[in-house]
């Protein structure tokens, strides 16, 4: 196994500056922010950006990994604080708010709901899918969620609800209502 060398101080500064500027650019322009502009604003060449982040997806993930990990932690906190069905509903709401408020996260979270394909799953996708799986399993065990629903289906539906809520008025004011309609529709019948 090759030994990984620690990053030089200047490379570490470039990396941190790129992440900061990328988060700002994604917030301003969404997931399609110009990578060349990000490099320029960070004061580095495009080659430096691509050395650290070979793809747009890698840069998005690095820029938002703290937020995604916080969502995973939040799922566990809610699971301890609320009954399982309520914990799932609240976590889906918080996930939806993050999707709407943080431009660029929509694409990143969208990768968690795809069928995958040839690309390896990202760390962010693993955190989100793991969190929803734990919450769905607990809600199903409690009887507040249909047993024939897969966690990925819940995640896909919630992602769609967040997008629909954003489209309804640009700010997602209907998110809680749409999620309530979703979760009520996923309850077991009779």
**E-assigned strand segments in 23-121:** none
What are the backbone dihedrals phi and psi of residue 169, each rounded to the nearest 5 degrees, phi first?
-150, 10
* CATH label of the domain that carries residue 9: 1.10.10.60
Domain of residue 175: give its range: 64-185
pTM for this model (two decimals): 0.81
DSSP for residue 34: -
Same domain, 127 and 174: yes
* 79: pLDDT strictly greater than 90: yes
Q: If 0-12 CB within 10 Å is exposed, 13-18 middle and 19+ buried, where does residue 55 land?
A: exposed
Same structural domain, 118 and 71: yes
Domain containing residue 121: CATH number? 1.10.357.10
Is the pLDDT reported for residue 117 higher than 50? no
The predicted-structure confidence for 134-149, as pLDDT tens digits, reads as follows 999 999 999 999 999 9
Q: Residues 84, 174: one domain?
A: yes
Per-residue confidence (pLDDT) for residue 65, from 0 to 100 = 87
Claim to verify: residue 78 and residue 163 sit in the same structural domain = yes
- Examine the domain organization and report whether 17 and 79 are in the same domain: no
The rounded distance, in Å, linking the Cα atoms of 87 and 39 is: 40
> What is the count of structural domains for the chain?
2
> In this structure, are 116 and 179 located in the same domain?
yes
Same domain, 11 and 100: no
Q: Are residues 87 and 146 in the same domain?
A: yes
């Amino acid at each position: 196994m090759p030994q990984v060398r620690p990053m030089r101080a200047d490379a570490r500064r470039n990396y941190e500056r790129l992440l900061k500027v990328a988060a700002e650019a994604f917030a301003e322009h969404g997931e399609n922010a110009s990578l060349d502009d990000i490099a320029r604003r960070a004061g580095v060449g495009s080659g430096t950006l691509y050395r650290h982040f070979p793809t747009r997806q890698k840069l998005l993930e690095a820029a938002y990994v703290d937020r995604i990990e916080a969502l995973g932690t939040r799922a566990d906190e809610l699971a301890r604080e609320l009954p399982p069905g309520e914990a799932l509903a609240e976590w889906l709401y918080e996930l939806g708010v993050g999707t709407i408020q943080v431009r660029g996260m929509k694409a990143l979270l969208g990768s968690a709901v795809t069928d995958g394909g040839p690309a390896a799953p990202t760390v962010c996708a693993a955190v989100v899918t793991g969190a929803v799986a734990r919450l769905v399993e607990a809600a199903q065990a409690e009887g507040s969620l249909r047993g024939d629903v897969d966690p990925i289906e819940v995640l896909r539906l919630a992602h769609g609800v967040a997008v629909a809520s954003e489209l309804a008025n640009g700010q997602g004011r209907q998110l809680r209502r749409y999620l309530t309609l979703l979760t009520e529709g996923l309850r077991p019948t009779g």
